[in-house]
Chains A and B, each alone.
Chain A
Amino acid sequence: DTGVSQNPRHKITKRGQNVTFRCDPISEHNRLYWYRQTLGQGPEFLTYFQNEAQLEKSRLLSDRFSAERPKGSFSTLEIQRTEQGDSAMYLCASTLGSDGYTFGSGTRLTVV
């Protein structure tokens, strides 16, 4: 693996639709993080996994958001009933232990 891969790179969706993003971490990394970044702001923590266990979720993560990491490999982030306020860059990062976080290029979501 050469890095963290995120798909799709861009997603435009209509308000009320569901969207799903995928993150493929560096293969030996056991921790995987999701962040959200809006224009002019730093990334905000959403949730993280150690292997397949989801260990922490931010208060930002409403019940419309769900994340999974089956078998401790790739992860998906789903947003149900999207709202315009969900428009942002969704970033995934992985790490072995708690050092050397590597970020993906992100998925830019636009809700119209």
Chain B
Amino acid sequence: EDQVTQSPEALRLQEGESSSLNCSYTVSGLRGLFWYRQDPGKGPEFLFTLYSAGEEKEKERLKATLTKKESFLHITAPKPEDSATYLCAVQRNTGKLIFGQGTTLQVKP
């Protein structure tokens, strides 16, 4: 059965304290792995798509990496405005996304 597990469930950082979020997955027929950011009361906002092991993508303070079993979202020198829930999702052949439960990040000034 397809499964996506994110860790930790919650993460508190001081401003400037770098860290990583983990997304472990088991899926048959992986087409892509997606990272989204979600603010309270809003829909998920697209960050990255990764398609093959070894691929990396960056956007401002965020960098996503992919292996055959997991993906990491690295946050370098975070700011309070980076506080949000970060969602990982795997894409199956049908195109539907299977999401993890998310990691809620709080960055304190």
Contacts and interface: CB of A to CB of B under 8 A. Distances in A.
Interface string B86-103: 010101001111111110
B54 interface: no
Nearest to B45: A103
B43 A55 contact: no
Contacts, number: 64
Contacts of A100: 46, 49
Query: DSSP majority for the A interface?
Result: strand
Interface of A: 4, 6, 31, 33, 35, 40-45, 48, 55-56, 91, 93, 95, 97-106, 108
B43 A103 contact: yes
19 contacts: A31-B95, A33-B96, A33-B97, A41-B102, A42-B6, A42-B87, A42-B99, A42-B100, A43-B89, A43-B97, A48-B96, A55-B94, A56-B96, A93-B97, A95-B95, A97-B95, A99-B32, A103-B44, A105-B41
A97 B46 CA distance: 16
Interface of B: 4, 6, 31-32, 34, 36, 41-46, 49, 87, 89, 91, 94-102
Given A98-B31, A106-B42, A42 B89 contact: yes
Contacts of A101: 34, 46, 97
Contacts of A97: 95
Contacts of A41: 101-102
A91 B101 contact: no
Contacts of A108: 41
